[in-house]
Amino acid sequence: MKRLRVTHSTGYRYGGEVSASYNEARMLPASGARQLVLHSALDVEPVSSHHQYTDYWGTRVLAFDVLNPHRELTLTATSLVEVLDAEHDAVHGGEHAPGPLGWEAFAEAVARSGECVQQLRQTPLTEPPASLVALAASVAGGAGDPCTVAHAIAAAIGEAMTYESGVTGVRTTAREAWEARGGVCQDIAHVAIGALRSAGIPARYVSGYLHPKADAAVGETVVGESHAWVEWFCGGWHGYDPTNGVGIGDRHVRVGHGRDYADVAPLRGVYSGAAGSELFVSVSITREA
């Protein structure tokens, strides 16, 4: 187990004075099966009217309006989270994991779950090209239960793609990223989700943070990053980080999940005023225990 302090600053610098902006932020983690949130806060500058709620997928949201003229919008989220080590589930041979479902029982379980049914549907960001569908079908055609097949598909996607920053954007689709065989974690997650769904396995997009240094000393602050990975259903929800080829462990802090990036974007909104804007982002992570 690690105790991590995450500071995430982001916002917009506008090309001129903005008269009003209306925004939603999804930057605060929630306690769950493998993490405990000890503290979290989100500060907004300029001061704004706001309210908090939990969205349909269970992600914490701060909705806020800035109705005074401003040239910059800055959000700073600070969280202190205790995170468990690598998952021990049916895929990785966990001691207390339930036995894997056979395909017939798996199909029945999926049909009974509203979220599973929704997470089987492709979105414009996850729609896979024919070559990706063929790869997933080839992997799924081998012997194995749904958990084993899902893990094999996600691992195959991670091995087939190269992490490359600056070559894609937030609107890049799985089709485009797969054709390039490269992109950032968001793109690799979309490709993996598209492949899993094409094989009949419900899959969802997870947003959060990754501590980049496995052996960081207590008290050491490092430059971190927003991160994305995938979860699939095979009797329960299991996570995997295809960008790094690892299970979800004590370096991953989860913020939320959805069908794709659009459901869990850290910050989005609209504004009235200057024609242009520049997004800025910084993340720092300190291991405190």
CATH of the domain at 61: 2.60.40.2250
pLDDT at residue 91 in the model: 43
C-alpha distances in Å from residue 159, one per residue of 11, 241, 280: 33, 11, 30
Rounded mean pLDDT of the chain? 93
Q: Are residues 38 and 173 in the same domain?
A: no
Q: Distance between CA 287 and CA 250 in Å, rounded?
A: 11
* Residue 46, preceding peptide bond in cis (omega within 30° of 0): yes
Number of CB atoms found within 10 A of residue 85's CB? 13
Phi, psi of 147 (to 5 degrees): -60, -45
Q: Are residues 135 and 249 in the same domain?
A: yes
Domain count, the chain: 2
Three-class DSSP category at 272 = strand
Token pair recorded at residue 201? 């396995």
Q: Distance between CA 48 and CA 35 in Å, rounded?
A: 30
Q: Distance between CA 284 and CA 78 in Å, rounded?
A: 10
pLDDT at residue 50 in the model: 93
Token pair recorded at residue 80? 């202190």
Does 90 reside within a domain? yes
Nearest to 196 by CA among 163, 162, 244, 229: 229
C-alpha distances in Å from residue 152, one per residue of 7, 137, 170, 189: 34, 11, 26, 14
Q: Are residues 22 and 61 in the same domain?
A: yes
Query: How do residues 17-69 score in pLDDT, each as one tens digit?
Result: 999 999 999 999 999 989 999 999 999 999 888 999 999 999 999 999 999 99
Does 216 reside within a domain? no
Q: Are residues 58 and 121 in the same domain?
A: no
Q: Distance between CA 158 and CA 258 in Å, rounded?
A: 20
Query: How do residues 221-273 score in pLDDT, each as one tens digit?
Result: 999 989 999 999 999 999 999 999 999 999 999 999 999 999 999 999 999 98
Does 143 reside within a domain? yes
Does 71 reside within a domain? yes
Does 214 reside within a domain? no
User: How confident is the model over 130-145, as a mean pLDDT?
Assistant: 93
Q: Are residues 100 and 78 in the same domain?
A: no
CATH number at residue 105: 3.10.620.30
Does 246 reside within a domain? yes
pLDDT at residue 99 in the model: 59
Q: Are residues 28 and 108 in the same domain?
A: no
Q: Are residues 131 and 196 in the same domain?
A: yes
Query: How do residues 75-134 score in pLDDT, each as one tens digit?
Result: 999 999 999 987 544 344 333 345 579 999 999 999 999 999 999 999 999 999 999 999
Q: 156-170: buried (b, 16+ CB within 10 Å) or exposed (e) per residue?
A: bbbebbeeeeeebee
pLDDT at residue 64 in the model: 97
Q: Are residues 203 and 63 in the same domain?
A: no
Task: State which residues form the domain around 140.
Answer: 86-208+225-253
Let me know if 219 is exposed, middle or buried by CB neighbors in 10 A (0-12, 13-18, 19+). exposed
Q: Are residues 171 and 49 in the same domain?
A: no
Q: Which DSSP category does 262 fall into?
A: G
Handedness of CA 133, 56, 145, 106 (dihedral sign): negative
pLDDT at residue 173 in the model: 98
Q: Are residues 190 and 248 in the same domain?
A: yes
Q: Distance between CA 239 and CA 231 in Å, rounded?
A: 4
Q: Distance between CA 48 and CA 28 in Å, rounded?
A: 18
Query: How do residues 163-201 score in pLDDT, each as one tens digit?
Result: 999 889 889 999 999 999 999 999 999 999 999 999 999
Does 219 reside within a domain? no
Higher pLDDT, 47 or 8: 8
pLDDT at residue 95 in the model: 37
Q: Are residues 9 and 142 in the same domain?
A: no
pLDDT at residue 92 in the model: 40
Token pair recorded at residue 187? 């793109």
Does 165 reside within a domain? yes
Three-class DSSP category at 91 = coil
Nearest to 244 by CA among 157, 179, 178: 157
